[in-house]
Structure 1
């Protein structure tokens, strides 16, 4: 992995003071630039020769760690508790994207990451959305798009079956990048895909006989979950969870909730629940958390967060 170079200036004069000052400045610059490089990706010595993988946000960090195991150094770009859609990259993170061996991301979730990948790492990018069959973006999602337009819903990680496909493809990609460990990547990818396939079967069984099949959610993050398990998603806002819905949109969602007997309005931990709470009061429903699993769950992982979602869905939808 490369690091930024430091330039040493000649002393301004022949005096000892000038020479000492210049030396200190050079050391400071060297330390600062080394820290800048190490902040996101490891040095060759730190990584032990392992490929460095940058994952854009939590579920992609999870699959990268599952597949990479001890043979790859995986780092996440989005810190826990940060809403991924709002991520703004620092110069250090952009340098890390340029230096990393592989960038695992989903085009359309984080415009700042999309731009950095296009400018600095297009040949090292693994776009999870390009590995699976996508579904069209909703009208709300299209209206809120920023950066380069896309016509699909990017929340592919919320369908365990699609994520299992992406995991297999990631194992193949890491194997091509690091042939010495290709068999280990493939083995771990098979294991992780098996866990996701089992999770999918659990969702299929648990949601098969629910009385209600309509989800009212804070934003339209659950289209793949709804598509996979034959549910209907009604989002208060589109792809941006912080977007303010119009009065007309709120009235439309309230009408749907009343008409279809919705008993729960779903909120998210990283988004203010105020609008959802007002809507729930308006239609006589309660609120509950449905996690889009965009950030690392407290005390768990992707699988435990998905199962917590399944429990919340079963209660809200009246499943046997």
Structure 2
């Protein structure tokens, strides 16, 4: 019996040793995660830009689910808590994440807020409601100021700078500088990662220049006024059906103007966004016998798309191909 116990003792010890190793490995991983810079990013482009700069040196989280339109998203107390626990919070601007100023004033932590569009001159934005019923008198005129106050806090400026590959480079640099300030010991790695990614963005910019410089048509009609910076960069003219919010709907008079514009410029494609209803774009397309096509704003990218290799570069190349096809008809 004693001999049997002696034989069993080493065997019984194996599970205990394995359990101890697993526990130690788990502790090491937890400590490694704690040692990394923790970054929360608002919506998809901020997430991708930050991931490319940070590499394996930071834990980068996406705050706004890719299935949700970020323009009018509001954080829950749990979301605010996640931001407060982060070292850095990367967002676009107060004109996109309109809730950030209020959150910042009440933030009870040392979280560094990184405005990715810092230093970029933003275009003026104009919502569709500002054009509706122009010239009407009476009761509407008296109440228009009050209604305007209700809406104008959202988009005084156009926030969609990331849709210009040139301005995207500036956003990446802002993120890079913030990371280096927080974690100067890893500056060399952050700069290398940043330079590598910016090289890809420069190549993307050159592809846009080469492709769009010779197209015979320069006018595009979009459902959502999201492509102003892209159009400005590459010599195009964006005419939006609605304003900066994809949920806005145009007045009948505005639709009439767009119909005439489309006919005059022989526009054959009406663009809408992947996260918005195509109803208004389809209505205009039906009126003029045009096609509809998705032009991706990258405000959200599903996990499935990301697993399939989709990213900012590939989506923007896809946008370029669609613009080329529409402007060469």
Which interval holds the TM-score relative to the shorter structure? 0.7 to 0.9
RMSD between aligned alpha carbons? 2.3
Alpha-carbon distance, 1:138 to partner: 3.4
Contact kept? 2:216, 2:328, Cα under 8 Å: yes
Distance 1:153 1:177 in 2: 29
Q: What is the SS of the residue equivalent to 2:254? A: helix
Q: How does 1:20-39 map to 2 (within 5 A)?
A: none
Alpha-carbon distance, 1:264 to partner: 0.4
User: Are 2:71 and 1:85 aligned?
Assistant: yes
User: Are 2:298 and 1:311 aligned?
Assistant: no
Unaligned runs of 5+ in 1: 1-42
Alpha-carbon distance, 1:283 to partner: 1.4
Q: Residue 182 and residue 80 in structure 1: after superposition, are their counterparts in 2 closer, same or farther (change >3 A)?
A: same
Q: Which has the higher contact order (CA 8 A, sep 6+)?
A: 2
Task: Give deviations 1:63-90, integer Å, cap 9, x for gaps.
Answer: 0100011111110111122111132212
| Equivalent in the alignment of 2:208 | 203
Distance 1:250 1:283 in 2: 11
Alpha-carbon distance, 1:317 to partner: 0.3
Alignment counterpart, residue 274 of structure 1, candidates 269, 273, 279: 279
Q: What is the SS of the residue equivalent to 1:189? A: helix
Q: Residue 83 and residue 250 in structure 1: after superposition, are their counterparts in 2 closer, same or farther (change >3 A)?
A: same
Distance 2:201 2:149 in 1: 31
Unaligned runs of 5+ in 2: 1-28, 131-147
Alignment counterpart, residue 249 of structure 1, candidates 248, 254, 258: 254
Task: Give deviations 1:245-268, integer Å, cap 9, x for gaps.
Answer: 221221222221111111100012
| Equivalent in the alignment of 2:125 | 137
User: Are 2:104 and 1:117 aligned?
Assistant: yes
Distance 2:66 2:155 in 1: 27
Contact kept? 1:109, 1:154, Cα under 8 Å: yes
Distance 1:141 1:302 in 2: 31
Alignment counterpart, residue 59 of structure 1, candidates 31, 36, 45: 45
Alignment counterpart, residue 196 of structure 2, candidates 185, 191, 199: 191
Alpha-carbon distance, 1:111 to partner: 2.1
Asked which structure has the greater CA Rg, the reply is 2
Q: Residue 183 and residue 144 in structure 1: after superposition, are their counterparts in 2 closer, same or farther (change >3 A)?
A: farther
Alpha-carbon distance, 1:125 to partner: 1.1
Q: Residue 280 and residue 157 in structure 1: after superposition, are their counterparts in 2 closer, same or farther (change >3 A)?
A: same
Contact kept? 2:84, 2:110, Cα under 8 Å: no
Alpha-carbon distance, 1:202 to partner: 0.4
Task: Give deviations 1:171-223, integer Å, cap 9, x for gaps.
Answer: 12101101111111111111111110110000000001111111100110000
Contact kept? 1:258, 1:283, Cα under 8 Å: yes
Structure 1 range deviating more: 113-122 or 141-150 = 141-150
Name the TM-score, length of structure 1 as normaliser: 0.80
Runs of 4 or more consecutive aligned structure 1 residues displaced over 6 Å after TM superposition:
141-145
Distance 2:125 2:280 in 1: 23
Distance 1:95 1:254 in 2: 48
Distance 2:166 2:199 in 1: 10
Alpha-carbon distance, 1:112 to partner: 3.0
Q: What is the SS of the residue equivalent to 1:130? A: coil
